[in-house]
Amino acid sequence: MMLGYFYHLFAEESLIDGQRQVSLMLTKSYANSMWASHAGFVQSAASLKREELQSSDEIRHIHRDLRMLLRGVNILNVTLLDVSGLVVYSTNAEQIGDLQFADSHFRSARNGKVISTLAYHDVYKTNRGELQERHIVTSYVPIRILDAAPVEGIIAIDSDTTHLISAMYTQQIRSIGWLILLMSLIYMLMWVFTKRSDRLIHEQQLQREKDLEHMRHLAYHDPLTGFLNRASFTEHTEEAVRRAKRVGWTVAVMFLDLDRFKLINDSLGHDAGDQLLCLTAQRIRDALRESDILFRMGGDEFTVILEDVKIPEQAADVAQRILAVIGKPIELKGEEFTISASVGMAVYPRDGESANYLVKCADTAMYRAKELGGSCFSFFSPEMNERVENQLKIETALHRAVANSEFFLQYQPRVCARTQQVIGVEALLRWKHPEWGIVPPSRFISQLEESGLIVPVGAWVIKEACRQNKAWQDMGLLPICVSVNLSSRQFRSESLVNTVRMALAETGLDPSYLEMELTESLLVDNTENAISLMHALKGLGIALSIDDFGTGYSSLSYLKRFPIDCLKIDRSFVTDLANNTKDAAIVEAISALAHSLGIGLVAEGVEDANQARLLQGYGCTEMQGYFYSRPIDADHLVEMITRISASAITAKVA
Ligand code: C2E
Ligand code: CA
Ligand code: CA
């Protein structure tokens, strides 16, 4: 609109200016060619009366002359005024004799200026009649012979610019039309563009929300079964307890562990194990009410929160139902299997209030069910309290133990079966509690694993074992190998390879004097990953062994794909070796296996000379057990090795 306004102003201005030029030229021609013959009459006209003036002959002369001058020029009216403002002549005869002295335009012209103005007239009178709705430009032009000469008269010229104005309006409207069209087009383009970007932004937003939702889902759900995971459990239980407190409900927490799941997993493979877990999870879910919540805590462990159980017996019914559905036959790899579960239950408010405490109670009750032979359920009872309290106490104390460096290592010698020399040691973790004294690993390793503390503590073990071994070498002892136990949690942590690399680098121990003991169970979970991780560890130059071999039911075909250096036969096969022919057969088979794979064989838990002799006969390359030495402190080990070497030297000399 502003643009339209400026256009209008500019167009009008140039139109008026054009008319001014025309009027100026006309006046110049008039002054040059005709004024001399009219000047006398004009200057004396004031002495005549109006009627005399209108009817005088001179008027007709002027009229004739002007008509000649104006021929072919688009002029409506011409008025000739004397310097006093008297209209001496006008093409509109009616005006002759009028006085225009007061007219500001006239006065300006009288002072030598050329004035042109545009005005709209509803009715405009000419000598040929009236014209309607006209846009007239009127120019007052002073008449003088030379530019600097005095003004002798004034000519007022009216030109009709109506057609020009209307053409201008049409042009303006057309321009505005085009402009509007252009603007609409731009607007439309902008609209399309913004709509598109809006859509893109919206899509991006949706995608982001979807990603976030997916990540949230991953964080709180078990990827295998799709049910809630351990991370969600505490939150849900606390929420359920809060609700129960408000409304006076009872909440039951159920802990469920499959019996002998490992057997199926190991013998049928990981995929079948996964399939079994998914199917079982779904069966449990189907046996529950809508409001009950199922969690997979990891491995073959599940928990269920039952809200608003009127009496504990109601929870017992649910447990029965779950045991029944789990017990239905399952087809895996074309074969039919039946499995069972052990269920433990704890009830709020009877057994405890906090989520953590309740789940510990349920877990303890589940162990009771396992002790009863599995395939049954058990409620938590106050007699079990001690175990739960202990577990909780240990958990709290372990956190402090890490901060207070209450851990230390003992070393159990590994002796060469042939030479009876100490050729290695196994580093075993010890915890010295300020009040309880030395706590055995069986009481705290699993808790370290559950809490994740095993990762930093395990890293400390690796570094400390490397440091100690390097220190022995620096003392001048014959180099021996130190082996370190790895828990599955450590094996799964991304930092393991780096932890080992750093420990070697920082202590300066040659990697060939470090061995990692892995358990079979740690290798059956996600075998491909395990193999690549083992190769990465081997790449550092260290040795790998499989600990407690024979207890894990691992598929022997995997064994040849593992880059391992030796097998450690589990103590359980050694203990009764002399009397139990089955154990002897197993040891013999393991020995043949190690032999065919070309790897070493260590017997663990050798307690007497007879076992040692038998094991040597079966081809064991190394021995470890109380018969040689209990796990001892680093200083004692130096003493022991020196003593053995001395006695070996004495024996040789003798
Ligand atoms: P393991 O790896 O099988 O270690 C051997 C265990 O058998 C040690 O028990 C050792 O004292 C015991 N032992 C050795 N010779 C004999 C024997 O002749 N007779 C009998 N009855 N026992 C013998 P310990 O030190 O109580 O360790 C128990 C378990 O704790 C270890 O079993 C290992 O699985 C775990 N552990 C110990 N230290 C660590 C560690 O630093 N990290 C991890 N992840 N686990 C560890
Ligand atoms: Ca071990
Ligand atoms: Ca072992």
Indicate which ligand has the atom closest to the C-alpha of 412: 1
* pLDDT tier for residue 649 given thresholds of 50, 70 and 90: very low
Residue 310: CATH number of its domain: 3.30.70.270
| Among candidate residues 162, 186, 220, the one where a domain is terminated | 220
Are 29 and 63 within one domain? yes
For ligand 1, is residue 461 a contact (CB within 6 Å)? yes
Q: What is the mean pLDDT of residues 150-177?
A: 87
Are 510 and 581 within one domain? yes
Average pLDDT, the chain: 89
For ligand 1, is residue 605 a contact (CB within 6 Å)? yes
Q: What is the mean pLDDT of residues 107-132?
A: 89
Indicate which ligand has the atom closest to the C-alpha of 443: 1
The DSSP string of 479-538 is P-EEEEE--HHHHHSTTHHHHHHHHHHHHT--GGGEEEEEEHHHHHTTHHHHHHHHHHHH
349 preceded by cis ω (within 30°)?
A: yes
pLDDT at 651 over 60: no
Contact 472, 413 (CB under 8 A): no
Which of 115, 103, 119 has its CA nearest to residue 140?
A: 115
Strands (E) across 326-471 are located at 330-332, 335-337, 341-348, 376-379, 407-416, 422-433, 437-439
Are 144 and 248 within one domain? no
For ligand 1, is residue 563 a contact (CB within 6 Å)? no
Q: What is the mean pLDDT of residues 397-411?
A: 94
Residue 164: CATH number of its domain: 3.30.450.20
Nearest-CA residue for atom 30 of ligand 1:
441
Residue with the bigger pLDDT between 6 and 458: it is 458
pLDDT digits (tens, 9 = 90+) for 564-579: 999 999 999 999 998 9
* pLDDT tier for residue 212 given thresholds of 50, 70 and 90: confident
pLDDT digits (tens, 9 = 90+) for 482-539: 999 999 889 888 899 999 999 999 999 999 999 999 988 777 666 788 899 999 999 9
Q: Which ligand 1 atom minimizes the distance to the CA of 607?
A: 18
3 state DSSP class of 380: coil
Q: Dihedrals φ, ψ of 121, to 5°?
A: -125, 125
* pLDDT tier for residue 646 given thresholds of 50, 70 and 90: low
Are 304 and 279 within one domain? yes
pLDDT digits (tens, 9 = 90+) for 185-206: 998 999 998 888 889 889 988 9
| Among candidate residues 220, 243, 263, the one where a domain is terminated | 220
Q: Is 89 a domain residue?
A: yes
Question: Which residue is it, tokens 């030598």?
Answer: 112
Q: Dihedrals φ, ψ of 215, to 5°?
A: -65, -40
How far is ligand 2, taken at its centre, from the CA of residue 378, in Å?
A: 34
Are 481 and 587 within one domain? yes
Give the highest mean pLDDT range of 218-227, 355-364, 500-509: 500-509
For ligand 1, is residue 412 a contact (CB within 6 Å)? yes
| Among candidate residues 355, 380, 405, the one where a domain is terminated | 380
Which of 451, 476, 234, 275 has its CA nearest to residue 359?
A: 234
Are 103 and 250 within one domain? no
- Written as one letter, the residue type at 581 is T
For ligand 1, is residue 429 a contact (CB within 6 Å)? yes
How far is ligand 2, taken at its centre, from the CA of residue 548, in Å?
A: 7
Looking at residue 264, what is its pLDDT? 80
Nearest-CA residue for atom 10 of ligand 1:
631
Which of 460, 467, 408, 481 has its CA nearest to residue 631?
A: 408
Are 203 and 103 within one domain? yes
| Domain total of the chain | 3
Residue 523: CATH number of its domain: 3.20.20.450
Nearest-CA residue for atom 24 of ligand 1:
441
Contact 384, 394 (CB under 8 A): no
Contact 593, 556 (CB under 8 A): yes
Contact 574, 603 (CB under 8 A): yes
Q: Which of 172-176, 190-194, 242-246, 352-356 has the lowest mean pLDDT?
A: 172-176
For ligand 1, is residue 97 a contact (CB within 6 Å)? no
For ligand 1, is residue 344 a contact (CB within 6 Å)? no
For ligand 1, is residue 607 a contact (CB within 6 Å)? yes
Q: Is 406 a domain residue?
A: no
pLDDT digits (tens, 9 = 90+) for 591-617: 999 998 999 999 999 999 999 999 999
pLDDT at 166 over 80: yes
Are 201 and 251 within one domain? no
Pocket test for ligand 1, best of 428, 569, 622 (most atoms within 8 A of CB): 428
- Quote the domain boundaries for residue 251: 230-380
For ligand 1, is residue 632 a contact (CB within 6 Å)? no
How far is ligand 1, taken at its centre, from the CA of residue 549, in Å?
A: 14
Are 130 and 267 within one domain? no
For ligand 1, is residue 621 a contact (CB within 6 Å)? no
Q: Is 281 a domain residue?
A: yes
pLDDT at 97 over 50: yes
Are 150 and 170 within one domain? yes
Are 140 and 242 within one domain? no
- Compute the residue count for the chain: 654
For ligand 1, is residue 626 a contact (CB within 6 Å)? yes
Are 82 and 212 within one domain? yes
